[in-house]
Structure 1
Amino acid sequence: MVEIIILAMVFLFVGLRLWSVLGRRTGHEQQPIAKPVEVQAPAAGISRTTTEALPQPASAEPAIDARATDGIRAIAAADNGFEAARFLQGAQSAYRMVLEAYWKGDVAELDRLADDGVRDAFREAIEQRRAAGHVLDNRLITIERAEIERAALVGQTASITVRFDADIAAVTRDAEGTAVAGSLTDAVQTHDVWTFSRNVRSDDPNWMLVETDEAA
């Protein structure tokens, strides 16, 4: 009888431990992404809920280049609410949202996410694309890696530069919908370096995209 009670208690303990590890959902779980683009590509009219970036788990150590360490420390000292891991998650979301806004020609969304210089460059490219009668049918398949390369605090202005290594499927179509360049069956590796900026004393917690470039 005593052995049965002990076994029952052990079973209950193991069951509770398994539930604590596997039974909770935080809302940040990711589904594995299939590499074949024709399977992964969503239908036209992508909604915001299906295009969230692929953040690292909150407990994951953020990827930070050694050159950015001092800058990150200075920003954290000036802004008690700053966390490098949370910033990197937000940067990945911004990367996806900016790219999709540009591909769709959504200038209003770009106004919200980027400063005047970056927005004007995107706007000019969008206008040239429309003048040529072209439409972009692009897909951000996955962000393979996001790393903080540089960080600095000048006065009250913080700036952080992030390198994004991503897979993108890109197709340019004409007004009739015929593909004139690119393919949705093959993803192309891209390497971008984007810089975000924010006044650490501002009540607005959002970072603005202030510069874009291709990685060297």
Structure 2
Amino acid sequence: MRLCRGARKAWRSAVLDIYTIIFLALAVFIFVRLRSVLGQRTGRERPPYDPYSRDTARPPQPASDKVVPLPERPVSPPAASPVDEAPPAYRWEGVAQEGSATAAALDEIARIEPDFDARHFLTGARAAYEMIVTAFAAGDRRALKDLLAKDVYDGFVSAIADRESRRETMESRFVAVEQAELQDVTVRDRSAQLTVRFVSKLISVTRGPDGAVVDGSPDTVADVTDVWTFARDLGTRDPNWKLVATEAAQ
């Protein structure tokens, strides 16, 4: 049996209304379920992290056994205000006796070169003493040439050449330089000579071509006293003192 056109239209409208109601009911059901799961607060929610807020702490990170906490940086105490130190009563104190000929010669050097410091000179003389003894043992002619006056250099080189002709080797090692004491000072025609007495402990050994010991000992520390004289022309641009004389003290 065929439905008339009006009946078919009414039937389609009824069908659409039923589907609309079903979809609406389904949407309401889904909304209610989602709200029951996501829309409630338990009181334990973590507030959002704001990296630009000073009042919001960074969320805690899980601890790791590979991280070692650094100690807090100690607070440095405030620097003490500088205290003016009183100048020494005597310029050459600890170097030369007041009123002595040595002190007078040092005064003459300081008159020509106001920046002269006797203590600084003794520090440099100590260093030069160690360098020269070590360079002589090693046969280092280049190092010796800048530290020795020509006649002293020639004597050192001659001794090195004699040792080499015998195919001997020398080893010298300082244990300590215990004393570097100013013993004499002379100034003549703007040329100064300062004599220093060195007291040191030294291990020195000379070996033959076969390695056998021919002088000294590799295991014995010897007490050595040397008296060396250094010289330079005052008032010149060359600040270097050179060794001009050596002697072994008795």
TM-score normalised by L of structure 1: 0.70
Q: How far has the Cα of 1:71 moved from its partner?
A: 1.2
Q: Displacement, 1:16?
A: 4.7
Aligned-partner Cα distance in 2 for 1:67–1:135: 43
CA pair 175-64 structure 1, distance change in 2 beyond 3 A: farther
| Residue in structure 2 matched with residue 128 of structure 1 by the alignment | 162
Classify the secondary structure of the residue corresponding to 1:171. Answer: strand
Rounded to whole Å, the distance in 1 between the matches of 2:116 and 2:249 is: 26
Aligned match of 1:73 in 85, 104, 107? 107
The equivalent of 1:180 in structure 2 is 214
What per-residue deviation string (whole Å, max 9, x for no partner) do you get for residues 52-102 of structure 1?
xxxxxxxxx654365521111111111112100100000001101111110
Please, which of 190, 194, 197 is the counterpart of residue 156 of structure 1?
A: 190
Distance 1:68 1:102 in 2: 30
Deviations 1:167-202 (A, max 9, x none): 111111122333233222221111111000111121
After superposition, where does 1:188-203 map in structure 2 within 5 Å? 188-203=222-237
Q: 2 CA distance for matches of 1:69 and 1:158?
A: 13
Contact preservation (8 Å) 1:138, 1:168: yes
For the residues of structure 1 that align with 2:248 and 2:190, how far apart are their CA atoms? Answer: 27
**Residue 120 of structure 1: how far off its partner (Å):** 0.9
Q: What stretches of structure 1 move > 6 A for 4+ residues in a row?
A: none
1:91 aligns with 2:122: no
Partner of 2:134: 100
Q: Any gaps of 5 or more consecutive residues in structure 2?
A: 1-74, 83-92
Quote the residue 1:110 is aligned against. Answer: 144
**Matches of 1:112 and 1:132, distance apart in 2:** 26
Other-structure match for 1:64: 96
The letter for the 1-side match of 2:96 is: I
Structure 1 or 2, whichever has the larger Rg, is 2
Query: Which structure has the highest strand share of the two?
Result: 1
Percent identical pairs in the alignment equals 33
Q: CA RMSD in A?
A: 2.3
Alpha-carbon offset, residue 138 of structure 1? 1.3
Q: In 2, Cα distance between the equivalents of 1:166 and 1:143?
A: 4
Native 8 Å contact 2:133 2:172 kept in 1: no
For the 8 Å contact 1:160–1:196, the answer to whether it is kept is yes
